[in-house]
Amino acid sequence: SYGCLFSDGIVSYTMPQGQADVNSLSDDTYDGKYHPESKMLTGGLGQLSDGITGSEDMSLVDGRQPWVGWSNESRTHVTIIFQFDYIRQMNRVTIHTNNVFSKHISLFKTAVITFSLTGERTSYSNAIISEQSRDELFEIARPILIQLNNHVAKFVRLDLYFDSKWLLISEITFDSQ
């Protein structure tokens, strides 16, 4: 699959599809299943694990929009669940995000990260909460690095809370062993 080259042990991720109606902010390389009734992507990899990071000018890379984006019109946060090839010690996650505040695109306000060995809905625990300060000085895309304190997991759940109308992510990588 397209996304496997840079997956860092990620087998798949599950998330709401990005907004296709505006600037084509959907994950158009996702190789899993799309469920139109819930607008969810499951069982695959795509743009968030392809090794391509976007810039603040939102230009295309190799003819593709590198950003996946969601608006806060129908939700308070975006949940992305990553499944890994085996149980790993999670050291750090890097979330490449955009911050063009003049266009109502901001870093996420809060990331809540939880861990599971089984992936069962009620099995996630050991929450790490990372608060991001609003940046209204520098309109630049950037990596946000969050230490994961060596939690052991096969599944990692990211809940990213909006700080503005739009949240745009182009890449998520994990340092794990």
What is the Cα–Cα distance from 75 to 38, expressed in whole angstroms? 13
Instruction: State the pTM of this model.
Output: 0.93
Pairwise CA distance, residues 71 & 154, whole Å: 29
- Give the strand pairing for 110-116 and 68-71: unpaired
Residue whose C-alpha is closest to residue 118's, from 78, 83, 158:
83
Residue with the two structure tokens 């080259």: 5
User: Region 136-154: what's the mean pLDDT?
Assistant: 96
The whole-number pLDDT of residue 61 equals 79
pLDDT tens-digit series, residues 39-83: 999 999 999 999 999 998 887 778 788 999 999 998 999 999 999
Beta bridge partners of 153: 88
Q: What is the mean pLDDT of residues 80-104?
A: 96
Assign 102 to helix, strand or coil: helix
pLDDT at 150 over 70: yes
What's the pLDDT at 22? Answer: 65
Question: What is the pLDDT averaged over residues 140-147?
Answer: 97
Q: Is the pLDDT of residue 27 over 60?
A: yes
pLDDT given for residue 64 in this prediction: 82
State mean pLDDT over 144-154: 97
In degrees, to the nearest 5, what angle opens at C-alpha 82 toward C-alphas 81 and 83? Answer: 125
For the purposes of burial, counting CB atoms within 10 Å of the CB of 94, is it exposed (0-12), middle (13-18) or buried (19 or more)? middle
